[in-house]
Amino acid sequence: MRKTYARRVAVEDVSLEVYPGEVVGIVGESGSGKSTLLRILNLEEVPDSGHYVLNIDSPFRGQNLLNLSRFDRRSVQIRHIGVVYQNPHLGLRMRFTSSGNVAERLLIAGERSYGALREAARTSLAASEFPLNRMDDPPIVLSGGMQQRVQLARALALKPAVLLLDEPTTGLDVSIQALVMDTLKHLQRELHLAIVLVSHDLGVIRTLADRVMVMRGGHVVERGLTDQILEDPQHPYTQQLVHARL
């Protein structure tokens, strides 16, 4: 894939494959292109060139999603891609109820029965280990960790093919980070999700990711198994990243 803004290259010659049940981590400094890549994977951005194919049960199976109309890309985004943002304000309506945030995604997808919406929201929140006695509280009164669980429930409500995580533990206390990571590991095992995880925290990457891709200046400079990359980095930039966090 390639993506430029004016004369600045944000992503250049980047390829990525992720399989069901696998977590691929993306690391790199600010401006490395990882956030741009995540927006492309969420169909928020269309690159200048490239292919994006999801193995999904839909009329768009096997097609290059980047060539679809805006309406069809939006349909794929809603039904087959889940995203959890670093900033919950980007992924939630902070003054809606938590259950309403989850139900909204189902409503957009076409569900109209109040009872079905309520039950599906409850099920999704429970799967994200959100306390159901708080499901009618709005996210604005919840802790950061609980807000992330609501985002997770919303993202997973339609059982997407791929889950995109953008710095999901940044800004959380260490103990809350551990709880969120435990929830992510549990969901990944139970739902056999394909997950792309962007994080600057190599501890999070080590805990969650099976493979790692290191980006710098819009390019991939190194990729491989997580233990291999973090224990024996080959590229000087990766060595710098790893040693800076020892």
DSSP 14-73: ------TT-EEEEE--TTSSHHHHHHHHTTSS--SB-------SSTTTTS-GGGS-HHHH
Q: What is the pLDDT of residue 119?
A: 92
Q: Are strands 81-84 and 162-166 parallel, antiparallel or unpaired?
A: parallel
pLDDT along the chain (246 residues), means of 10: 88 92 93 91 93 87 92 92 92 95 87 87 92 96 93 92 90 83 85 90 91 95 96 94 77
* 235: three-class secondary structure by DSSP: coil
Q: What is the pLDDT of residue 60?
A: 87
Q: What is the pLDDT of residue 47?
A: 92
33: left (phi over 0), alpha (psi -120 to 50) or beta: left
Cα angle for residues 65, 44, 10 (degrees, 5° grid): 100
Q: How far apart are CA 178 and CA 186, in angstroms?
A: 12
User: Torsion over CA of 25, 31, 37 and 38, rounded to 10 degrees?
Assistant: 70
Q: What is the pLDDT of residue 39?
A: 93
If you search the block for the tokens 């992720």, which residue do you land on? 18
Q: What is the pLDDT of residue 171?
A: 79
Global pTM exceeds 0.95: no
Q: What is the pLDDT of residue 221?
A: 96
For the record, the structure tokens of 176 come out as: 């809350």
